[in-house]
Structure 1
Amino acid sequence: MMPDGTNSESVNADTPPNPWWDKPIHDQRFLKVICIGAGASGLIFAYKLQRSFENFELTLYEKNEDVGGTWLENKYPGCACDLAAHAYTLSFEPNPNWSSTYAGSDEIYDYFAHFTDKYGLRKYCKFKRQLSRAEWDNGKGQWNVEVTDVDTGNIIQDWCHFLINGSGVLNSWKWPDIPGINTFEGNIMHTAKYDRSLDLTDKTVALIGTGSSAIQVLPAVLPKVKKITTFNRSAAWVLPTQGFQQHYYTPEEKQEFAANPKKLEEHRRELDSSLNGSYSIFLRDSPMQKTTTSTMREAMAEKLKGSGLEDKVIPKWGIGCRRITPGVGYLEALTHEKTEVVTSGVKEITAKGLVSDEGKEYTADVIICATGFNTNYIPRFPVIGSNGQTLAEAWKDEPANYLGVAVSGYPNYFVFVGPNSPVGNGPLLIAMADYMLKFINRFQTENIHSFSPKLEAVRDFMEHKDAYMKRTVWELECRSWYKSNSTSGKVTALWTGSTLHYLEMMAEPRYEDWNFTYIGGNRFSYMGNGFSQTESDKTADWSYYLRDMDDSPLLGRAKHWRAVNRSGTVERTAVGLKF
């Protein structure tokens, strides 16, 4: 029995024709939501739902023992965010105490743990519980889910009106597909499952990979090891800076940020404005793309000068085709006397070491695999939609999606950082959460049974995406997880525009792109007994609409956005990253 005296089954399709007759318009029915994961996405969703909604039940099923997601799991040496910490921070939750520009994983975990406790979000979390199956029940208008207890293997049955996938894209790590990997007699680790207890002092180490993780690992372990062999099969753009140099904030700076929030806000705006002004780097043949590529080629060559590595590790393709990584100390580490750079892949792993593509064997005591994640976007458990098809089957060729957050034929299902959505900082996750909650709000206060994107809308979005990507550097000939680790495949990650473009696009849902179904058949049943929420509240102002001036929202988009972005308040002579 719910607080208003109705049964929870009243939201299902087999309810009486109009259970809203005795309720005012926009009555809040009971809402049950399940979110997969208690990383950054899940925590932001929980905060936003708690802040704006009533009469709901939320469960965050998390496979780990604590919150934090990738920042709980990744503990390899040098692990840090490749965005400046003050830019990665949630827009409404500043942190004056970041130790450095590129804060480490432990600090970022502490930030999200503090956020969780500050807003009381742990009450929604069920740890060491992993989603193992989800199937849409159209008759009841709900998702039926199976949850596996990680410790016991027991299966728990649950259900929800909305299933939110916040498990992340860089979460399912994988061993490299190299013959003999199980024959190695030393220690072999993946960066996503790194054993911090292992002492690398005076060890001979082999490092596989040239992505963000490898670029952070090499300079971090170099001081301890006896020798390190790094297998650099692919070139990578390594920026000594990405907007700003690595900087360690002094106690005085942190104290000033804490005592003077305006000073901290100015610093955050400087970082964000620099990043937001750099998008044209990613447009093929743009002046900024050409200039930045030339500048960074010269910068890398200067760091590598005299090493003989210039032609081997500096990419031939334009900057941005792969994720740009701030390589603090990486290029210097490549030229160190303890480092041997092998510019080919690993053909085989033996009991004593690794064999390169050329057939030369390199002995090692420890192998560190910085070989990334499975980035095909397919959930790691069956998600079965309204037509009985799993999402894995639907996406076997390409993850066809709607704006990176939803899928046609999978009602009341949303995903954070889905295919072709931006991969970035706090404002983007917040925009995704806000977008989902606008739909959930309509569901809770109208007689909606379910909704999912129209197939034609998905097809139009994918067609636009494919045409747009041809204009970008992401389709250049480079191997990237943006293209499912292929060299020339379709871009399955990344948004078709800038961060600010995404925020503007997602601010107003295009409800016309969605199929809605209704309880009781009549879409206006939720109008109820003819009374409003206002007059149903005896403590409300029943003449709230009276004003002595018009302070209503601006309804024209152009004027609205000029008000939101404070147009006319900034003088800008240069934009983009600072080198």
Structure 2
Amino acid sequence: MSVVTLTQESHKNPDPFRVKYEDANLVLGPKPKIPINDELPVIETSSKVAIIGAGFGGMTVAHSCLTKLNIDDFVMFDKHDNFGGTWYVNTYPGCACDIPALWYSFSFELNNNWSRIQPPQFEMEEYILKVAEKYNLQKYAKFKTAVTRLEYNDEAANWTMYIRDLTNGQLIKHTAEIVTSCQGSLVNPIHYNAKGLEDFQGVYMHSAVYNHDVSLEGKNIAVIGNGCSANQLVPNILSNYKPKSVTQIFKSKHYIMPPVPRALQWLYRFLSFSFLGLTLVRLLTIAIAEARFPLYKGNGIFSNIVRRINTRSSRNYIQKQAPKKYHDLLTPDFKIGCKRMIYDYQYVPSLHDERVTITDDAVDHITKDSIVFKNGKEKKVDIIIACTGYDVNKSYQNYEIIGRKEKDVGKIWANDGGSAYQTVLLRDAPNLFFIAGPNSATGHSSVVMAIENGCTYFEKLIKPVLAGKYKSVCVKTEKYKQWYVDTQNELHNSVFGTAFGGCVSWYGDGHVNSSTYPYSQIRFWWEMTHPRYKDIDYEPLDNK
């Protein structure tokens, strides 16, 4: 446990802390491509543990291997050329942490000089690289590699991973006894697909594949969407890039909350002198956030009180800070929490800028230089920036998983819905662990905390296998199925994109919610630190 101090060099020169546009566009653009060249010889490698992803999840597993499990025989695979995951890739203007970073960071490496409570992307990446350097993780990383398939060998009790080198398409066959999938959910951008977009002669880009070489000065810009990315992008463009106009187009509304209180930043500064002080501020932040959890569940008295307080807070903020003409456009009529709440930084006040227009008019089609709405209105645009989010379910199925007895996990998910027991374990997939897997997200908490809890669960379950007492570990199939049924039933009674919540959101498709955790983070911590071993199968070394 230690304290990190940043040099803040990323503020002076953010470029080294951002993915190159060409690299991001290759694997995340409108036409992503994994190169294949089978004329090159197959490379065969192996390790005790394989880690898919080198963002917060992969780095936390690496830390667990080095400090908790005493393993240095592991390899990290990532499609990009550096650590950071979504914090390396998402570089649009204004991109920043949407919750307090003192909570959205490693609990074992707390930073004592965040420039603000919700620091910008490049500062988050600087922090990530600082931690990676401290633990010498570069030594274990294989960058610019994409995993395409996992196959389990029942007899050997190990996994064969099929991986492509993105620089030349060469196939790598990697064998690992244990695999952890840590790629997260913000992986596959949902690109805007309006009719006629292919004829647009201006510049189109998704916020997740942002091209900083494109000048915005003097341009008419259309921003599609109004989630967290758009909330951060719009005010930053207006303040720093001198556009001629910004037109924000969206279909639905979000609850926009007041900014995080400045008192938290003052308290953070006051207690940043030690790891203990930073931990106290972190715990206070967690406690305040967890107190909001009841608004997500049911119609009980306490739930309704918490829901009413937070709804009123959002509406009062909009009425006080937004132009009156936009009050209706910015005020949802569904239950708060049905979509992820947005903690504002500068967005709502920026709507007073005469250059910005927001509208929920439906788009009919796009011409070579304009957007045409269904009501007949037309808006000339030079640049379209899509803040249209991610395909969360696809993110968990970026590669094939063939488990024991040749069970295709992808087909199981396609038929039954994406799921993982306790968010971590798949049926028929021994020694495979998902970190920040299906149903691990929340509407009020930090995914980094969920990642660390998942790693605690991984550590506890895998130790008997590493000690040589058992061949493999896997969830019992009937317990996997029961977890899925119980989780979905519980989520149907929550606000997460349900009929009860009154909205449609990325949390689920109306039938299956593979995104959110149905209970409190206190319960999640308890479940991860106290595994139900009766739900788990350990395969004996000798099956005879």
Interval containing the TM-score (normalised by the shorter chain): 0.7 to 0.9
Q: Which amino acid aligns with 2:151?
A: E
Q: 2:238 aligns with which of 222, 239, 246?
A: 222
Residues of 2 paired with 1:357 and 1:335: CA distance? 26
Q: Write out aligned runs for 1:157-556 (5 A).
A: 157-223=173-239, 224-242=242-260, 244-245=261-262, 257=271, 259-285=273-299, 286=303, 287-307=305-325, 309-376=326-393, 377-397=395-415, 398-423=417-442, 424-474=446-496, 475=498, 476-483=501-508, 486=509, 488-521=510-543
Q: Aligned letter for 1:405?
A: V
1:98/1:249 contact within 8 Å kept: no
Q: 1:260 to 1:412 in 2, by over 3 A?
A: closer
Equivalent positions of 1:551-562 (< 5 A) are none
Residues 450 and 345 of structure 1: CA distance in aligned 2, closer, same or farther (over 3 Å): farther
Counterparts of 1:27-42 in structure 2, within 5 Å, are 32-42=48-58
1:247, distance to aligned residue in structure 2 (A): 7.9
- State the 1:429 CA deviation: 1.2
Give secondary structure in 2 for the equivalent of 1:318: coil
Deviations 1:173-212 (A, max 9, x none): 1312322222211111111110122221111100001111
Q: Which amino acid aligns with 2:357?
A: E
For the residues of structure 2 that align with 1:258 and 1:246, how far apart are their CA atoms?
Answer: 14
CA contact (8 A) 1:378 1:395 kept: no
TM-score under structure 2 length normalisation: 0.85
Q: Deviations over 1:450-480 (max 9, x none)?
A: 2321221122112221222233221222121
Alpha-carbon distance in structure 2 between the residues aligned to 1:173 and 1:338: 28
Q: Provide the secondary structure at the position in 2 that maps to 1:185.
A: coil
* 1:37-88, Cα deviation, whole Å (9 max, x unpaired): 1100000100111112345510001111110111100100110111111111
**Which letter does structure 1 place at the counterpart of 2:293?**
Y
Once residues 279 and 333 of structure 1 are traced to their aligned partners in structure 2, the CA distance between those partners, rounded to angstroms, is 30
Paired letter, 2:278: L
One-letter amino acid of the counterpart of residue 270, structure 1: L
Paired residue total: 485
The structural deviation recorded for 1:363 is 1.3
Alpha-carbon distance in 1 for matches of 2:71, 2:88 = 31
**Alpha-carbon shift at residue 96 of structure 1 (Å):** 0.7
Q: Give 1:333 deviation, angstroms.
A: 2.5
Cα distance, 1:271 vs structure 2: 2.0
Contact 1:136/1:143 (<8 A) preserved: yes
Q: Helix, strand or coil for the counterpart of 2:109?
A: coil
Partner of 1:565: none
Deviation at 1:103, TM superposition (A): 0.7
2:32 is matched with: none
Q: Is the 8 A contact 2:145 2:164 kept in 1?
A: yes
Paired with 2:101 and 2:456, the residues of 1 have a C-alpha distance of 23
Structure number with the higher helix fraction is 2
2:106 equivalent to 1:106: no
Amino acid paired to 2:345: V
Aligned to 2:104: 88
Higher relative contact order (CA 8 A, sep 6+): 1
1:441 is paired with a residue whose SS is: helix
**Structure 1 letter corresponding to 2:83:** V
Partner of 2:37: none
Deviation at 1:240, TM superposition (A): 2.0
**Cα RMSD (Å) of the superposition?**
2.1
Tell me if the contact between 2:219 and 2:383 (Cα under 8 Å) persists in the aligned partners: yes
Shift of 1:246: 9.4
Three-state SS of the structure 1 residue aligned to 2:282 is helix
**8 Å contact 1:353–1:364 — kept in the other structure?**
yes
For residues 203-224 of structure 1, what are the alpha-carbon distances to aligned partners after superposition, in whole Å with 9 as ceiling and x for unaligned?
1100001111111111110132
Q: How far 1:123 sits from its partner (Å)?
A: 1.1
Range moving further from structure 2, 124-133 or 272-281: 272-281
Contact 2:419 2:439 in 1 (8 A): no
Equivalent-residue separation in structure 2 for 1:294 and 1:248 (angstroms): 24
Which amino acid in 2 is paired with 1:208? Answer: I
What's 2:23 paired with? none
Segments of 5+ residues of structure 2 without an aligned counterpart are 1-45
- Report which of the two structures shows the higher radius of gyration computed on alpha carbons: 1
Match among 106, 129, 137 for residue 145 of structure 2: 129
State the one-letter code of the partner of 1:264: L
| Amino acid aligned to 1:471 | N
Structure 2 residue identity aligned to 1:232: F
Task: Give, in angstroms, the shift of residue 492 of structure 1.
Answer: 1.9
What is the distance in 2 between the residues matched to 1:507 and 1:248?
Answer: 31
More deviation in 81-90 or 334-343? 334-343
CA-to-aligned-CA distance 1:119-147 (integer Å, 9 cap, x gap): 22221111111112111111211111111
**Contact between 2:148 and 2:164, CA under 8 Å: does it hold in 1?**
yes
SS of 1:301's equivalent?
helix
Q: Secondary structure at the match of 1:163?
A: strand
Which has the larger displacement, 374-383 or 71-80? Answer: 374-383
Q: Distance in 2 between matches of 1:40 and 1:94?
A: 14
Summarize the alignment of residues 556-575 of structure 1 with structure 2, pairs less than 5 Å apart: none
Q: Is the 8 Å Cα contact of residues 436 and 447 (structure 2) preserved in structure 1? A: no
Q: TM-score, normalised by structure 1?
A: 0.80
**Cα separation, partners in 2 of 1:161 and 1:263, compared to 1, 3 Å:** closer
Q: Secondary structure at the match of 1:161?
A: strand
The match for 1:48 is: 64
